[in-house]
């Protein structure tokens, strides 16, 4: 899985600190970030709400690919 994160300009020092930690520890950025997220979630255990989207119709695989052939 890939996760892209927008970093606002005022948070650039955080990215520089991440770059420094990567150089200092020799660990890849993704490992450091995932460890930080895991630690945060353990400490804060946020509750995610559930949302009802109503009745949803999911197209079949054939319908999806048939639509693509038309393009």
For the stretch 9-26, pLDDT in tens is 999 999 999 999 999 999
- To the question of pTM greater than 0.85 for the whole model, the response is no
Q: How confident is the model at residue 56 (pLDDT cuts 50, 70, 90)?
A: confident
CA-CA distance, 35 to 7, in Å (whole number)?
18
Q: How far apart are CA 65 and CA 44, in angstroms?
A: 42
Distance of alpha carbon 25 from its chain centroid, rounded? 23
Tokens representing 30 are 């993704």
């Amino acid at each position: 899985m890939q996760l892209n994160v927008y970093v606002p300009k005022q948070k650039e020092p955080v990215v520089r600190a991440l770059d420094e930690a990567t150089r200092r520890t020799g660990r890849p950025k993704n490992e450091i970030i995932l460890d930080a997220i895991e630690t945060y979630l353990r400490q804060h255990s946020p509750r995610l709400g559930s949302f009802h989207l109503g009745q949803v119709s999911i197209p079949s695989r054939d319908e999806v690919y048939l639509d693509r052939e038309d393009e």
